[in-house]
Amino acid sequence: MPASQPRSRARDRNNVLNRAEFLSLNQPLKGNQESRSSSRKQSGQAGAAGAQSTNPKERRQSQQLPEEDCMQLNPSFKGIAFNSLLAIDICMSKRLGVCANRASSWGGARSMINLLGITGHGIPWIAGTLICLVKSSTLAGQEVLMNLLLALLLDIMIVAGLQKLAKRKGPYDINPGLLDYLTMDTYAFPAGHASRVAMLSKFFLNHLVLAIPLRILLVLWALCVGLSRVMIGRHHITDVLSGFVFGYLQFRLVELIWMSSNTCQMLISIW
């Protein structure tokens, strides 16, 4: 046994791998793990020191930025489709706004277009309905006029509520007029004029006996009023189209809650 120990030590001395320059080859994994762990500790300490030095606002921003970048770099298909349709709507609405101001291509016709838009305002229609209701002497006429007055009031309240929720501005920076403020039609979506003329035209087509030329003129009047709101730059195309849809829904609502002749007479007597 004592003789074997000196032989093994001599072997270790003569082994080339035991030299200092080859020691790293004997334990490669341990050295790598130690270097990695030391680098991780150093980076962790540096990160902790940086996190302690930064204030809470910067931490929140640093946490939010990667999510925002991911959302911008990888948007959903619905988001791409919606933004594309919105861009097309804005572009087409600006091109059709030929009477947005005096310097526009059709700036000279702005007064006439505004006059066409007045025919769709709620205040003249409410005032005219009240005058006709006072002068009406038939029960059927009073019933129709009372329900028409209800439809006009519902239109103003529903459109004003939807506009307050959406708060969408028009394609051009145009201040609303006095009648717009009275009817609370100050935002773009949905178009109050479009919803009103759609509701009125459908109401008259259902409850008045009109000849075919008058029916065609009534539909053309509603379309022209809606187009005029885009031409003067107050609404987008989608605002007008959605206004037509809401006007039809309002007509259906009035038909569901239609007041009978007795109810109308009771309200007239109270008034």
What is the dihedral angle through the alpha carbons of 147, 153, 158, 160, rounded to the nearest 10 degrees?
A: 160
The catalytic residue positions are 193, 235
HEC assignment per residue over the chain: CCCHHHHHHHHHHHCHHHCHHHHHHHCHHHHHHHHHHHHHHHHHHHHHHHHHHCCHHHHHHHHHHHHHHHHHHCCCHHHHHHHHHHHHHHHHHHHHCCCCCCCCCCHHHHHHHHHHHHCCCHHHHHHHHHHHHHHCCCHHHHHHHHHHHHHHHHHHHHHHHHHHHHCCCCCCCCCCCHHHHHCCCCCCCCCHHHHHHHHHHHHHHHHCCCCHHHHHHHHHHHHHHHHHHHHCCCCCHHHHHHHHHHHHHHHHHHHHCCCCHHHHHHHHHHC
Whose tokens are 């120990």? That residue is: 5
